[in-house]
Structure 1
C-alpha cells in the first residue's frame, strides 16, 4: 500500500493512527464481551476504520455526519465519552436512547451525529435536509452521510442523489463498498463496474477512494470538503474496502471465499499504516505499546462505569410521556373581523400567515411554486416568500419527507404537501419509522407537517380518493388532524406548524370549494384534542369528522325529529374521548361515522373504548358506519354507494327507534 504524506504534519499522522486504533481495540473488546453474553449484538467495522476516521477528521466539529452501524470510528473521532457508548450498547440509562434502541441507532445534537434506522435509506434524505438548511442560511458547511453498497439499490438512495443534485446541496454521499450485503455479493446486487459511475446519471461529481488507505481517505475528503464549502454541491464517494467479519457476528463469514479473505487481510488499514509510520520514524514500538496501554485503560475504566450502572427500570409514565416532544400550546385568539371564505382559502391563508410568522418555515411539494399546487393552495406564494422557501420537488415523496426531517434536525420547520393523500404510500417509511419514532428514541423533535388532500366524492377513482388517516392514527408519535370547517382548518393548521411534533394534516378536497364559513382574518390558533359540538341534543350522539360532519348535518336537517348531539372530533390523535363520553352519558346512544372503510378505522377504536369505559351508559348497541370494504370506485353511481352517507341515514333511524 502506497502512502503520500503531502503537507500533513507529524501530529496529524499520529492522530489518524490513534483514530483508527481506538475503535479497533474497542471492537476487539466488544467481541469478547459478546461471547460472554454481556452485549447482545455487534456489527463489526474491523477493516473499515480508515473510512470512518478519515472522513470524520476531515469534517469540522459543527458539521453533521450520518453514520451507519460499522462506523464506530465516527463516534470515537467525535470524542463521545466511551462510558456513554458502552451504556448505549447495554441499554443503560446514560446511553443515548434510554434503553429504547440499540447499537448505533441514535443521534446526538451535542456531537452533531445523526444515527441510522434499520431501513437504511431515509438517512440519505435526512442529510439532504440538513444540508438544505445550511445552504439556506448561507453556512459554509458540509454534511456527510454513509451507506453501504447494498443500500444503493434502495429507492431512497436514488431519490436523495437526485434531489441533492437538482438543489446543489453540500452533501458527501459516502458508499462503503465492502463486498457483501449481508451474504449477497456485489455481482448479485448491481450490474455496473463502479457505484461511483451512478453519479453521472444525476449530474454529480464522484470519486473512487481506496477505503483502506487512511492518508488517501483523509486527504481526498479534506480537499473535497474545502471545495464544497466554497461552492456547495453534492459529491458521491465510493470507498473500496472489505468487511472482515460477518454482517453481524452471528452470521459468520462462511459464504466468503477463503482466498478473498486472505487477500484483504493483507490490506488491513491499521497494520499497513502502522508499518509505514514505523518505517518513516513517525512511530516506535514503544510508542505503540504506550498508546495501546492508554486506550486499553480508557476502555476498561469506562466499561466499569457502564457495567456498574444499574439496569434501566420501567416507568410507564415516562415511556408514554416521551412519545412526543413537549408542546406548550399558546392560544392566539383572533380579532373580531371575519370574512366568509371557502375551506381551500382558509388553508391557504393559514399557511401564508404562518410563513410570515416563522421565517425559517420551508414548504416543499410537487408543483407548489409558480403553479401553486394542484389545488392552488400556494398560488402567489413565490413572489412573497421566494423559491428558496416555496420549493418544487421532484416526484419522490420518500426523500422529501426525510429531507423535512433533516430541516427539523438543523433547526428549521417544514411543511410537505402530498399532491394527494394517496401518494403518501411512497413516503410511508420515513413518516412511520423516522418522524414518528425519533423523539422517543433519542429525544429529537420532528418539526414537520404533512398536508394530505384526501377523500372521495369527486369521481377521482382508486388512487386519488382515499381517506387514509387510520394508517397513521395507529402509529405512536404522530399527530393526526382532520378539520371539517374553514375556521377550524386555519386555526388547527397554524397550531400544527407551531407544534414541534410530526402532524398529518388531512384536508378533504371535496370540501375545498364547496364549504364556506366565517373565518377570522388575522392569525389565530386552535388547540389539538378538543372536539367541537356542532349541535347539541338529548336523544342520540353522532360522532364524526371531515366530510362526515357535513353528511351528518344534511341527514339531521332532513330528520328534525331526531334531537341529536353532533360531535366533530377535529383531531384524531390526540382524540377528545372525554367529549365522546360526555355526550354518550347524556344520550345513551352512539353512532360513529367515518368516510374510511370500516374495518380497522377510528370508529372501531372509539366503539371499543366506549364498550370498555362507558358500557353502563349504553341504551343501545354502538353503531359504526363506514365505506364499503373496496377500493374507491370511479363511476358516479358506484362511488355514491361506496360512500356511507345512505347507510348512515338508515342506521341513524334504526338506532333512534331502538
Structure 2
C-alpha cells in the first residue's frame, strides 16, 4: 500500500499512528469486557479505523462531525475522556447520556460531535443544517457526515445530498463502504459500479478512495474540506474498507466467505501503516512496544476510574423533567394573551390567517437567528399566502424555498439548532408530515432527553377538513404526535391564540408542532393585541362557564361547541378550549369535570386513537367520583376524509354533536 506523506512531518506521522492505534486497542478491551458481561452490546469498527481517524484529523476541532456506531476513532481523536466513554458504554449515570442511550447514540457540544440515532439516514440532513448555519454566519467551516453503503439506499440520502447541492452547503458526505449492511452484500444493495458516481446526479464532486490508507483518507478529506469552504459546495466521498467482525458481536461473520476475510486481513490499516513507518525508519520494535504500552496503560487507568461508578438510577421526577429543555427566563416574563387582550386600548380585529402572519413577522424581527423553510414560502408566499412579502422584508437567506424533501428540511432545522439558530418548517399541508415523521419523532423529540441538546424548531401544519380537499389534504393528524414524549403540540382556535401560541412556540427551545386549521384561516375574526405576547403552552382556556355539561375540545371543535351553546342556552355548557394538546392542562380538565359532572370530549380527528380516548381515560381514572354520567366522545368517522361536500359533512364530528350531547344531558 502506497502512503503519500506530502507536507507531513515525522512527528505528525507518529501522532497519526497513535491516533489510529488507540481506537483499535480500546476496541480490543471492549470485546473483552463484552465477554465478561460488563457491557451489553458492541458494534465493531476493527478493520476500518483509518476512515474515522483520518477524517477527524483532517477536520478542525470546532467543525462538526456526525459519526455512526462504528466510528470510535472520531471520539478518541477528538480526545473525549476515555473513562467517560467507558461509563457511557456501561450505562452509568456519569456517561454522556446518563444511562439513557447505548454505545455511540449520543453527542457532545463541547467536542462538536452529533449523536446518531439508529435510523442512519437522518445524520446527513442534520449536517445540511449545520452547513447552512456556517453559510448564514459567513464562517469558514465545513461539516463532515458519515454514512454506510447501506445508508445510501435510504430516501434521506437522496434528500440530504440534493438539499446540500441546491443550497450550496459546505458539507462532506463520507460513505464507509465496508461490503455489508449487516449481512446483505453490496451486490444486493445497488447496481451502480461505485457509489461515488451518485455525486454527479446531484451536481457535486465525488470520488472513491482507499479507506484503509490513513494518509489517503486524511489528505482527501483535507482537500475536500478546503474545496467545500472555498467553493461553498458539498462533496461525496466513498471510502472502500471492510469490517472484520459482525454487524454487532452477536451477529458473527459466517455469511462472509473465508477467502474474503483473509484478503482484507492483509490490508489491515494498522499493519499497513506500521509497515510504512518502519520503512521510513520511524517505528522500530522498541518504539512500537513503547507506544503500545503507553496506550495500554492509559486505557487501564481510564477504565479503573469507572470501577466506583454506581449503576444508572434516577427519580421518576428527574426523568420526566429531562424530557423537555427548560424555558429561558426571558420567556416567562412576556405578557400573556389574556393580559394583552385586557390592555387593548381599542378594538383591533384580525382574521385567523392574518394573526399567524403577524406573529411570524414579529418573531422574525425579534429573533435575527430565526430561519423560515418550506415549499413555495418565498416569492410565492406559501400555499395559503401566509408568508407573502416575507422575502422582500427579510431576504432569501432567512425565508428559504425548499425542494420537496420534508425529512431533509426537518433534519436541517435540527442542525441549525445546534448552532444557535431557531427555525420554522412549514408543511404545505399537515398530511405531508408523514414524509418527515422519522425526523420529528425519533430525532427532534428525543434530543434533549438523550444528550441535552435542545431542538429549537417549530413545525407549522395546516390541518383539518371542511374545505373539500379530500383524503390527502384534510386529515387531522395531531394524535400521531401527542403520543411522543419530547414534543409539544399546540392547536389554536381563535386569532389571539393563533398569534400567541406561535410566539410562545418560538420562545420555547423544544420542538413545537403548531396545528392551524385551514377552514378557520379566513372565516374567523377576533381581537388580536398588537404587541409581542404569548399564549402559554400547556394552559387551557375556559371559553364559557356552565353547570349542565362540559365540552372539552380544541380547534374547530370550539366553534361547533359555542354555536351549539348559543342555540341551546338551557344546556348551560362549560366549554374548555385545550389550546395545547401536549402537555395537557390536567388541572383545567379536572376543574371542568368537577363543575358539571358530565363530560363530552369533542374533536375533528377520527374516533379510534384520537386524543379524546386519552382524555376520557384520564377523567375516568382521576375524576370518577365527580362524574354523574359516562364520559362520552364525539369525533369524526373512522374513514378517510371524503371529497364530496355532503360526504365530508357527514364525516365530521359536528354532524353528530347534537345527538351525542342530547344523550349525555339525558343520562
* TM bin (shorter chain): over 0.9
| Kept in 2: contact 1:65–1:114 (CA 8 A) | yes
| Kept in 2: contact 1:206–1:235 (CA 8 A) | yes
Q: Deviations over 1:323-374 (max 9, x none)?
A: 0001144242345255211100000100110000000100000000000100
Match of 2:564 among 555, 559, 567: 555
| Kept in 2: contact 1:174–1:238 (CA 8 A) | yes
2:397 is the counterpart of 1:384: no
2:484 is the counterpart of 1:475: yes
Q: Deviations over 1:242-300 (max 9, x none)?
A: 11111111111111111111111111110011011011111221111111111101111
Bigger CA drift: 154-163 or 530-539? Answer: 530-539
User: Take 2:254 and 2:578, find their aligned partners in 1: how far apart are those partners?
Assistant: 58
2:16 is the counterpart of 1:5: no
| Kept in 1: contact 2:464–2:476 (CA 8 A) | yes
User: Take 1:529 and 1:308, find their aligned partners in 2: how far apart are those partners?
Assistant: 41
What does 1:201-600 align with in structure 2 at a 5 Å threshold?
201-328=201-328, 329-333=331-335, 334=340, 336-337=344-345, 338-600=347-609
User: Match of 1:622?
Assistant: 631
For these two proteins, the number of residue pairs brought into alignment is 658
Bigger CA drift: 226-235 or 421-430? Answer: 226-235
User: Take 1:423 and 1:540, find their aligned partners in 2: how far apart are those partners?
Assistant: 37
What does 1:594-609 align with in structure 2 at a 5 Å threshold?
594-609=603-618
User: Take 1:584 and 1:272, find their aligned partners in 2: how far apart are those partners?
Assistant: 74
User: Take 2:88 and 2:122, find their aligned partners in 1: how far apart are those partners?
Assistant: 22
| Kept in 2: contact 1:453–1:507 (CA 8 A) | yes
User: Match of 1:151?
Assistant: 151
Q: Deviations over 1:195-230 (max 9, x none)?
A: 000011100101111101111111121122122222
User: Match of 2:662?
Assistant: 653
Tell me, what secondary structure is at the counterpart of 2:334? coil
User: Match of 2:192?
Assistant: 192
User: Match of 1:631?
Assistant: 640
User: Take 1:258 and 1:587, find their aligned partners in 2: how far apart are those partners?
Assistant: 75
Tell me, what secondary structure is at the counterpart of 2:460? strand
Unaligned segments of structure 1, at least 5 residues:
none
Runs of 4 or more, structure 1, over 3 Å off, are: none
Query: Structure 1's 273 and 171: CA in aligned 2 closer, same or farther, altered over 3 A?
Result: same
| Kept in 2: contact 1:331–1:526 (CA 8 A) | no
User: Take 1:560 and 1:553, find their aligned partners in 2: how far apart are those partners?
Assistant: 10
TM-score normalised according to structure 1 size: 0.99
Q: Deviations over 1:124-146 (max 9, x none)?
A: 10000011011100001010000
User: Take 1:332 and 1:267, find their aligned partners in 2: how far apart are those partners?
Assistant: 63
Q: Deviations over 1:536-558 (max 9, x none)?
A: 11111111000000111111112
Tell me, what secondary structure is at the counterpart of 1:489? helix
User: Match of 1:180?
Assistant: 180
| Kept in 1: contact 2:383–2:428 (CA 8 A) | yes
User: Take 2:475 and 2:188, find their aligned partners in 1: how far apart are those partners?
Assistant: 38
User: Take 1:322 and 1:151, find their aligned partners in 2: how far apart are those partners?
Assistant: 31
User: Take 1:438 and 1:269, find their aligned partners in 2: how far apart are those partners?
Assistant: 34
| Kept in 1: contact 2:351–2:524 (CA 8 A) | yes
Question: What's the Cα RMSD here?
Answer: 0.9
Q: How far is the alpha carbon of 1:170 from its aligned partner? A: 0.4
What does 1:125-136 align with in structure 2 at a 5 Å threshold?
125-136=125-136
User: Match of 2:26?
Assistant: 26
User: Take 2:224 and 2:551, find their aligned partners in 1: how far apart are those partners?
Assistant: 63
User: Take 1:20 and 1:300, find their aligned partners in 2: how far apart are those partners?
Assistant: 18
Tell me, what secondary structure is at the counterpart of 1:505? strand
Tell me, what secondary structure is at the counterpart of 2:605? strand
User: Take 1:319 and 1:298, find their aligned partners in 2: how far apart are those partners?
Assistant: 34
What does 1:41-190 align with in structure 2 at a 5 Å threshold?
41-190=41-190
Q: Deviations over 1:482-516 (max 9, x none)?
A: 00000011011000011000000000000001000
Q: How far is the alpha carbon of 1:646 from its aligned partner? A: 2.0
Q: Deviations over 1:541-599 (max 9, x none)?
A: 11100000011111111212111111111111121111111111111111110100111
| Kept in 1: contact 2:227–2:233 (CA 8 A) | no
Bigger CA drift: 615-624 or 299-308? Answer: 299-308
Unaligned segments of structure 2, at least 5 residues:
none
| Kept in 2: contact 1:331–1:524 (CA 8 A) | no
User: Take 2:224 and 2:92, find their aligned partners in 1: how far apart are those partners?
Assistant: 39
TM-score normalised according to structure 2 size: 0.98
User: Take 1:287 and 1:416, find their aligned partners in 2: how far apart are those partners?
Assistant: 56
Tell me, what secondary structure is at the counterpart of 2:250? helix
